[in-house]
Amino acid sequence: MPERPSLLIISFSPIVDDARVLKQVRAFADRYRVTTCGYGPAPDGAAEHLEIGAEYGALDTDFRLIAARQYRAAYSSTSAVQEARRLLRGRTFDVVLANEAETAPIALELAPASRIHVDLHEYYPRLHDDVPAWVFWRAPYARWLCRRFVARVASTTTVGRGLAEEYEKEFGFRPGVVTNATPFRDIRPHAVGSPIRLVHSGAALRNRDLTLLIDGVARSRAEVELDMYLMPHEPDHLAELKAMAETTSGRVRVLDPVPYDRLIPTLTAYDMGVHVLPPGNFNNRWALPNKFFDYVQARLGLIVGPSPEMAGTVETRGLGVVTSDFTADALAVALDMLTPDAVAGFAAASDAAARELSADAQVVGWERAIDAIAVQPESPRR
C-alpha cells in the first residue's frame, strides 16, 4: 500500500475548539498523514500534533516595527510565529493547508508555493475597519501579508462570495468558497406551538448589537420568547445583556453557552434561530456564520437581517424571514407576522436544504484543492 501524502494543517487557534479547522482535519484524516500545528491539545484525526503553548501570542507583534513599516521584522517578532518556526524547523510536507493570512509566510518557508493552500476565514485587511486605529496601523500590515504571501500560493478559499470578490478586486486572486457549514444531522422538524420559541447562540460582543434582539422581542405583540446562549467574550457587555433581559418579564433569557457537541441537540428544542447582525464592519456586512448553518441542521426556521449572504440564502430557499433593516422595530414587525403554520413551513424548508447546506457538501471545495496540489510534480521553492 503506498504511503499516504503528508499534510500540515497550521492555524493560530485552539484547533479542538475551531469548528472550521476541525472540519479540515476530519476531511483529510483518512487519506493523508495529517500533522496539525496550533494551540491546545491534539484534535481527533491528527497523526501528529505540534502544540503552540498558550504563552505564545499570535497578536503580540512588535507595534514599533509595524509603525515603522518594517513588516517582515514585525512578523518575526510575533511569539506564535517564533514558536511555530521552532516546532516545524527542518520538517517537510507534501501539502500545507495554512489557515488565515498570518500563517502563510510560515507555509512558504516549509514548501513551494505550488504545494500550499490558504484558507481565509475572514477578509483580513478589513477585519476591524470600524476601528480607526486598526485601519491606520494594522490594515497596511494585513495587506502586506495578503499581497506578499497569500497571493503567491497555489489556491485559496474563504467563507463567502462577497469576501472572495473583494480578495479578487484588491489582490487579483479569487478564492473558492467553502462556507462555515455544520456537519449534516439526520433530524426531523417538530411541531410548532405557542409561544413560538426563538434562539440565538454566539458570543457576547458589543459590535454585534445583541440589544436589538432583546428590544425587538420586547416590542413585539406576538407570542414569542427568546433564549440567548452567549459566550462571555466581553463580560461587562454580557452583564448588561442579562440586566436588559430581566426587564422583559421573562420573554428573554440570557443563558450560559453549551459545548459545541451539545449545541445542535439544544437548538432542536426551539422553533426559529435569530441573527440580525448590523453591518458595523466589512466582515459583518458579508457574514455567513456557523450559527446560520447550526440553525438549519437543527431544522429551525431563520430570522435574519438584510445581510447579503444570509438574506440571499434565506430568500432563495424559503428558510424564514428577512427583516427590512437592522433595527429592533424591524425585528418586531417580522416577529408580529409569524404564525405556527408559517414557522412549520420554514422548518420544513430547512429540512429540505439540510444536506445541501451541510459541511459534508462544502468540504469538497477543500478536498479538490488539496488533492489537486498533491498530484502535482514537485516544484522548486521560490
Residues 210 and 346 in one domain: yes
Cell numbers standing for residue 341? 403554520
Q: Whole-model pTM? A: 0.92
- Of the chain, the end-to-end C-alpha distance in Å amounts to 33
Does some domain include residue 140?
yes
Cell numbers standing for residue 107? 507555509
Give the tens place of pLDDT for each residue, 263-273.
999 999 999 99
Residues 130 and 58 in one domain: yes
Range of the domain at 318: 196-357
- Tell me the C-alpha distance between 268 and 194, whole Å: 16
pLDDT score of 377:
73
Residues 141 and 205 in one domain: no
Give the tens place of pLDDT for each residue, 64-104.
999 999 999 999 999 999 999 999 999 999 999 999 999 99
Does some domain include residue 33?
yes
pLDDT score of 307:
98
Please, are residues 180 and 288 in contact by the beta-carbon 8 Å criterion? Answer: yes
User: What are the residues facing 272 on neighbouring strands?
Assistant: 198, 301
Residues 135 and 256 in one domain: no
pLDDT score of 379:
52
Is residue 323's pLDDT more than 90? Answer: yes
Is residue 40's pLDDT more than 90? Answer: yes
3-state SS, residue 176 = strand
Is residue 143's pLDDT more than 70? Answer: yes
Report the side by side order of strands in the sheet with 6-14: 48-52, 33-39, 6-14, 95-99, 116-120, 155-158, 176-177
Residues 161 and 265 in one domain: no
Does some domain include residue 232?
yes
Does some domain include residue 1?
no
Q: Report the percent of the chain where pLDDT is more than 90.
A: 96
Bridge pairing between strands 95-99 and 116-120: parallel
Residues 212 and 339 in one domain: yes
Give the tens place of pLDDT for each residue, 238-265.
999 999 999 999 999 999 999 888 999 9
pLDDT score of 376:
81
Residues 225 and 256 in one domain: yes
Burial class from Cβ neighbours inside 10 Å (0-12, 13-18, 19+) for residue 115 reads buried
pLDDT score of 51:
98
Residues 42 and 157 in one domain: yes
CATH number for the domain that contains residue 279: 3.40.50.2000
Residue positions counted in the chain: 382
Residues 344 and 369 in one domain: no
What is the pLDDT of the chain when averaged over all its residues? 96
Q: How confident is the model at residue 381 (pLDDT cuts 50, 70, 90)?
A: very low
Does some domain include residue 11?
yes
Domains: count for the chain: 2
Residues 151 and 100 in one domain: yes
Does some domain include residue 286?
yes
pLDDT score of 2:
63
Listing DSSP states for 240-254 in one string gives HHHHHHGGGTTSEEE
Q: How confident is the model at residue 3 (pLDDT cuts 50, 70, 90)?
A: confident
Give the tens place of pLDDT for each residue, 12-39.
999 998 999 999 999 999 999 999 999 9
Residues 26 and 141 in one domain: yes
Does some domain include residue 104?
yes
Residues 287 and 328 in one domain: yes
**Dihedral (Cα; 333, 336, 338, 340), 10-degree rounding:** 170
Is residue 328's pLDDT more than 60? Answer: yes
Give the type of residue at 108.
L
Q: Which helix (H) or strand (E) element contains residue 348?
A: helix 340-353
Is residue 378's pLDDT more than 90? Answer: no
Does some domain include residue 183?
no
